[in-house]
Amino acid sequence: MAIQTQLPCDGDGVCMRCQVNPPSEETLTCGTCVTPWHVSCLLPESLASSTGDWECPDCSGVVVPSAAPGTGISGPESSGSVLVTAIRAIQADVTLTEAEKAKKRQRLMSGGGDDGVDDEEKKKLEIFCSICIQLPERPVTTPCGHNFCLKCFEKWAVGQGKLTCMICRSKIPRHVAKNPRINLALVSAIRLANVTKCSGEATAAKVHHIIRNQDRPDKAFTTERAVKTGKANAASGKFFVTIPRDHFGPIPAANDVTRNQGVLVGESWEDRQECRQWGVHFPHVAGIAGQAAVGAQSVALSGGYDDDEDHGEWFLYTGSGGRDLSGNKRVNKIQSSDQAFKNMNEALRLSCKMGYPVRVVRSWKEKRSAYAPAEGVRYDGVYRIEKCWSNVGVQGLHKMCRYLFVRCDNEPAPWTSDEHGDRPRPLPDVPELENATDLFVRKESPSWGFDEAEGRWKWMKSPPVSRMALDTEERKKNKRAKKGNNAMKARLLKEFSCQICRKVLSLPVTTPCAHNFCKACLEAKFAGITQLRDRSNGVRKLRAKKNIMTCPCCTTDLSEFLQNPQVNREMMEIIENFKKSEEEAEVAESSNISEEEGEEESEPPTKKIKMDKNSVGGTSLSA
């Protein structure tokens, strides 16, 4: 007997073997895949059925001896038989309705598996080539909206000459089969999924070595990679206080877990590194510590500007900026431009406006001051900025930002023999104010003031709430998550945007030229245009002419495709999953913000922020 190849009917009901459209009484419908078959073209062995429902040769798993090997008939040990077994199990489940059975069969055939899969599997990219059941490599989308690998599609449509979709048996136009186009949006989606998966695996496998505060040395040390010797290339040592970097005012005993006395006026250290370990002034080099939107917490007098005037209980301080520090001019002391009230200078002006206390340290480098220490760095208490203005500096070329600091500490200054601290004093006379511009004088009551009843300086208003009270790792994690969500949103808008409305695709349609549009946008683009156009020369009616409906992105004719455009269901599921994850991330972020605001409102204004004794700088804080 000659070898006979068994083929079903296509989407139009035409037998793919004899090319005849048989009547319904001469066809059999498979009870598993619901595909019609021509009875006359089936082998007698395939017509037998041990159950009530007839199964086609592709689903029965029975090898017909007279059939040719490799004709698509799966043996009992093949992977196809496993799929058929799963389908049979779904059909035999009496607890499911017909709709639920159909839904499970569809998910199983598309590679989605059963409903028993866990949540992690559901989060994966659910798009598979219907031939190799793998993530499509160089995906091609047919006009019926199904996706295949380019290699598999060419093997099916070109190599075997089958111009019907393997899934729905719809016709594939010959020009699409000869010149398939890669769907670049799906390529980006698959690449994005692979990158996310790889990055997640790398993150899980990568070990982060974090130096905790208790593991740091007591003193700063020089690194092995240091080019120069000394503290200029030193790594930071252990922090002995538990204040965040944006802490205002003196450092109390509650934040001194080592000695339980706080940082006292007159304490000195060998250099700025050790001063930083006690939280008095955190920057290694900069003279101002603060944030433009919050205020300045501390300053250092180290002889950086010739305009500075130090009178002990009060001094004139110069802002930062206006010097060219590029190239080899890191220590350039020549002003090349005007200073402006921005960045650190704005932080000082904000502290002046709010009346915040500013910690002051003096360095031995300030050679012109009689109040500077002979060596090292010394903490001289807190000062308050009373005025700030702009004025031309001593170099006589550019304007400088100037500030009047007045001491307001409860402890006596290091250079006095008085046992008590400061009391409110009249402001000193500053001659340069006569030519000052941009003068700012605080008119409202200061946050840090003198209480006559208690005879001491204290917070008259609530101190600023620390923005660095969150754990460092938690802040970094939130920042990375927010950045990732923004990147995902931008990628979604870029890769899955309609070429007409420039918005995220809604009911995406992939044209034969591999461009993606919203179905409504594409139909509206060609609304009112018929496929054929009637013509007449005025005397007689001419033959109708076909209307060319050109793709909005290229010159491909879409007239046949627009008769029944099919939605790309797999791409639509990908877009919906991305949108859902983005909405969940936004809801989680908004809930976290509301919880933080609620905690801040519930805390009393005078409540201190404490930290675990093993924390570093501003980490591991607890209320």
What's the mean per-residue pLDDT of the chain?
76
| Residue 504: band (very low, low, confident or very high) from pLDDT cuts 50, 70, 90 | confident
Q: Taking phi first (over 0 means left), then psi (-120 to 50 degrees means alpha), and beta for anything else, what does residue 191 get?
A: alpha
Q: Check pLDDT > 50 for residue 621.
A: no
- Which pLDDT tens digit goes with each residue over 257-267? 888 999 999 99
Q: Check pLDDT > 80 for residue 233.
A: no
Q: Residue 268's closest CA among 368, 414, 382, 384? A: 414
Q: Check pLDDT > 80 for residue 552.
A: yes
Give the span between the Cα atoms of 112 and 106, in whole angstroms: 8
- Are 263 and 278 within 8 A, CB to CB? yes
pLDDT of residue 350: 94
Q: Check pLDDT > 70 for residue 51.
A: no
pLDDT of residue 228: 65
- Which pLDDT tens digit goes with each residue over 562-583? 888 888 888 888 888 777 777 7
Burial class (CB in 10 A: 0-12, 13-18, 19+), 71: middle
**In sequence order, what are the residues at sequence separation of 6 or more whose Cβ sits closer than 8 angstroms to the Cβ of residue 336?**
322, 323, 324, 398
Look at 9-23, 469-483, 519-533 and tell me which has the smallest mean pLDDT. Answer: 469-483
What percent of the chain is predicted at pLDDT more than 70? 71
**In sequence order, what are the residues at sequence separation of 6 or more whose Cβ sits closer than 8 angstroms to the Cβ of residue 523?**
562, 565
pLDDT of residue 470: 52
pLDDT of residue 213: 76
Mean pLDDT of 481-490: 64
Residue bearing tokens 């406006």: 353
Give the span between the Cα atoms of 272 and 342, in whole angstroms: 25
- By DSSP bridging, strand 314-318 and strand 268-269 are unpaired
Task: Output the CA angle 260-408-433, nearest 5 degrees.
Answer: 145
Ordered by where they begin, the domains of the chain are 24-118 (no CATH), 123-205 (3.30.40.10), 245-465 (2.30.280.10)
- Which pLDDT tens digit goes with each residue over 390-409? 999 888 888 999 999 999 99
Mean pLDDT of 436-463: 92
- Are 360 and 397 within 8 A, CB to CB? no
Say whether 9 sits in a helix, a strand or coil: strand
Q: Residue 153's closest CA among 126, 177, 171? A: 177
pLDDT of residue 474: 62
Question: Against a cut of 0.85, is the pTM above it?
Answer: no
- Which pLDDT tens digit goes with each residue over 72-131? 333 333 344 455 667 777 877 888 887 787 777 766 655 554 444 344 433 445 677 777
pLDDT of residue 74: 37
Half-sphere exposure of residue 500, counting CA atoms within 13 Å on the CB side?
A: 18
- By DSSP bridging, strand 357-363 and strand 295-301 are parallel
- By DSSP bridging, strand 221-222 and strand 139-141 are unpaired
Give the span between the Cα atoms of 57 and 65, in whole angstroms: 12
pLDDT of residue 72: 37
pLDDT of residue 316: 94
Look at 304-318, 333-347, 493-507 and tell me which has the smallest mean pLDDT. Answer: 493-507
| Residue 607: band (very low, low, confident or very high) from pLDDT cuts 50, 70, 90 | very low
Residue predicted with more confidence, 471 or 478 = 478
